[in-house]
Structure 1
Amino acid sequence: RFVPSLRVYVHHGSDRATGTELEHAVRESDLVITTYALMTRDVAALKELDWRRVVLDEAQHIKNAKTSQARAARSIPADHRVALTGTPVENRLDELRSILDFANRGVLGSEQMFRKRFVVPIEREKDQLAVSRLRAVTSPFVLRRVKTDPAVIADLPEKLEMTVRANLSEEQAALYRAVVDEMMAQIKGTEGMKRKGAVLSALTKLKQVCNHPAHFLRDGSPVMRRGQHRSGKLGLVEDIVESVTGDDEKVLLFTQFREFGELVVPYLADRFTTEVPFLHGGVSKAGRDAMVEAFQGEGGPPIMVLSLKAGGTGLNLTAANHVVHLDRWWNPAVENQATDRVFRIGQRKNVQVRKMVCVGTLEERIDTMIASKSELAELAVGTGENWVTEMSVEQLDELLRLGDDAVGE
C-alpha cells in the first residue's frame, strides 16, 4: 500500500518455489515474506541464499533458544538482523536472551553465564543491581517504543483500565474449597516435581471454578440453573456486554481456556441474538482473516471471543473499544499485548479494559501481588505461575484459602 514499487515475494503454500526457482524468485525480489513454520522446514535452502537483512516479526516465536524454530532463525546468514516484539519476556528472562542472541549473537554470553549473572538474582531475589546491569548491557541494542511516548500518545485516545470484582456463587465456593482441600492433602509430605505438579494442577482447576462450574466439571451442564447464573463472573460479564452493545459499541473477550470460550460463545450468541465469532488456535488462516474482516466491518458482530494465545498478537481489531480479560494470565506483558489489539494506531474512541477477578480467591490475591510488583512488570519479567509452586504449605494456604467475602449475599 505504501511502497507500491516494492517487489514482494510470498514464500508460502504447498506449491511454493524450490531449488533454482526459489533462488530466482528471491533474486528478483526486494522483500521475501514467509512463516516461522516454513522458515524451519525450508531452512537448508534459505541458508544457501545471500540475505541483506532478516527481520523477525512477533519475535517471541523464538523465545526458547533450543527449539528448531529458534535454531533455524539463527542459522540464516544476514548482514543485519532485527527482532520485533511486544513481549520480549512472557514467562522467563531466558526468553530475552534468546531473542537478543538472534539479533546480536553472544551479547549476553552463554546460557549458563546469563542464568548466573541475571536470571537467578532478578527472578528469585529481585536484585535491583542485577536489573540495572541487564539494562546497561541490553539498552544499546533495544529500541523501545511505549504508548506514553509523546510522539505516539498524540495519535491515541485515552485508555481506562479497571479491575471488576465478582462474587462466587455458592456452587462455585463449594467446588473451590474442595479443590484446595484436595491439593493440601496431596502435597503433605511430597516434594520436587510431584509437589509442583499438584500445585499447578490445582491453580488451573481453581481458575476454571472461578470461570464457571461447568468449565471445571466438564459435564456439559447448562450455564444457568432455574433462571439464575451459576457463575458470578459470567453474570457480571453479561451485564458488561449488555451495556457495551446498548451503546452500539463492540467488545473483545479474552480467555486462556478454549473450553471456556466454547461454553461462553453459544450462551452470548443466544442471549444477544447475534453471531459471536471465536478465534482460537484451531481456526485456519483463511477463517481467521474472514473473522477479523467481518468484525471490523460496519455491520459486523459486536462481540468477539478470543483465546489469549491465538488472539493476543498480530491482529488489528480497532472496531472494538472495550476489552474484557475473563481470566488472568498473571503476566502484565501478555495481557497488555492482547489489549493492544484494540489500543493501537487507528483507534478513535477511548478504550475501556476490564480485568475480571473473583473476590476472596487466588485471582484477587494474585491481582494485588501483580499490582504491587509493577516495577518488575515494567522490566517485562513475568515468571509465569511457577513461583507459586515454590511456596511453603502455610503460604499456599494463605494464598488459596477462600475469603469470607467470596460469596455474594
Structure 2
Amino acid sequence: MRRTKRSGSIFVISLVVLAGLVSVLALAAASQNAANKAQIRRMEGRKARVIAEAAIQRALAELQDQVNSPTTVNDDWSQLGQIGGEAFELGNASFRVQIIDAASKVNLNTATQAQLELLPLDPEQVDAILDWREASTAPRPDGGKDEYYNQLENPYNAKLGLFQSVDELLLVKGITARDLYTVRTDIERTNQPTRTSSGEQVELPLEELLTVDSVSQAVNAAGQAKLNLNTVNQWQQIVGRAQVNQQVAQAIINLRPGGGYTNIGQVLATPGITLASAPAILNNCTTGGQNQPGKINLNTVTEEILLTIPNLPPDVASAIVTRQSTGFTELGELTDIPGMNNLALLQQTAGFFEVNSQSFVVRVVGRSGTTQVALQATVALLDGAPKIVRIEESPYTNVIDVWGWEAEPVATTTLKGAQ
C-alpha cells in the first residue's frame, strides 16, 4: 500500500512537471509567434514606406511637364490617382496618390489678421500667431513675445520670422495639437470648413487649411513677367502694360505709398481706374517680384478656403469654384465672375489671388499586407523642375477621411513588372 501511494505521488509530481513544461513550451511558442508577427509587421512597414516613396517619385514624374501658368484642375497632375481613388498595384503591395496645389490653401506666413480671424482660431491665438512671425518685439494684448516664451518650463524665444512648417504652430502660445489636428467644437463659426468624404460632409481640422509653401509666379498669359508697380518710375511703361492713359499712369506712381502698394487691389483704388480698365492691370501688373508667396490659385482653391477671404461673398466663392471646370487663364478674368463686376470688391479681394502655382503637395498611402504608411511630400518647381522640399508622415490615424478619399479604391491599375 505504501508503494502505491509513493507511485501515485510520483505520478502526480510528473504530471505537474509535465504541465509546467507544456506551459513553458506554450509560452515560448506564443512568444515566438508574437515575435514572428512583429517581424512581419516590421517588414510590411518597411515595404509600405518604400512603396509610398515610390509613389512620390511617380508624382514627381507627372509634375515634370507642368507649365508656369495657368495651373488648373484639368492638368495631368491633378488627374493622377483619381483623388486617391485609384490603387496602383505592384506585386502584393500597392499605393494610392493625390497631388494637390499648395496655392489652394491659406499661407500661414502671408495671411492677414482678417483672414486668420476667419479660420478656426480664437482671438488670442490670432494675436499669438502674428506676434510669432512678425519682427516687432512688442506683443499684442493677447499675443506673446520673448517675455512669455522665456518663462515657460522649457524656455525658448519667439520666432520673429516666417513659419517653416505648419506644425511649428505647436510652439505658439495657446495652440495645442488638439487645436491643430482635430475639428474645433469650441469656436462658433458661420462657415465651418468641410469636405465631402465617402459621400459625407466631413469637417476639417485647421492643419488641412494651411500651408507655408505656396508660391505663384507674377506672369501674364504669354509667360511674360508682370510689371512691378512698386519699382517702375516711368509712366510710359505703365501706359503700355496696364493700358491706361498718361494721367492714370502718373497717378499710380505719384500716389504710391512710402512702403509701396501692399497688393494689386490697392492699385485699383487709384483715381481714374475703372471696372473696364481693371482686367488689363490685373493681367499685366503686380506689386511684388516674380515669385509671390501666399497667393491663392483661382483655378484650384476650394470653396472652404475662399470663405476665408475677407469680404468675399459666399455666392462669389461658389461661382469661382464652378468656373474652375473651364479655368482662369488670366487674373483679369476674375471680373467675369457674377458678383465680381464691382470695382470696390475687386479692390478688397483681387490681391489675394493668382492663376498659377509653383508648389504642390503629394499625398500617398503605401500598403503592404495589413500595414499602411501615409506620407505627405512638399514639392516646389525650381528652374522648371520639381524638387522635394520635405517629406513628412501624416499625423492622422484617419488619414483617408481627412484627405477626403474614398474608403476603398474605386479603380485598380497593375503596374508593369508586377504581373
Establish whether TM, by shorter chain, passes 0.5.
no
Q: Which has the higher contact order (CA 8 A, sep 6+)?
A: 2
Query: With structure 1 as the length reference, what TM-score do the two structures score?
Result: 0.22
Query: With structure 2 as the length reference, what TM-score do the two structures score?
Result: 0.22
Larger Rg: 2
Structure with more of its chain in helix, by fraction:
1
Structure with more of its chain in strand, by fraction:
2
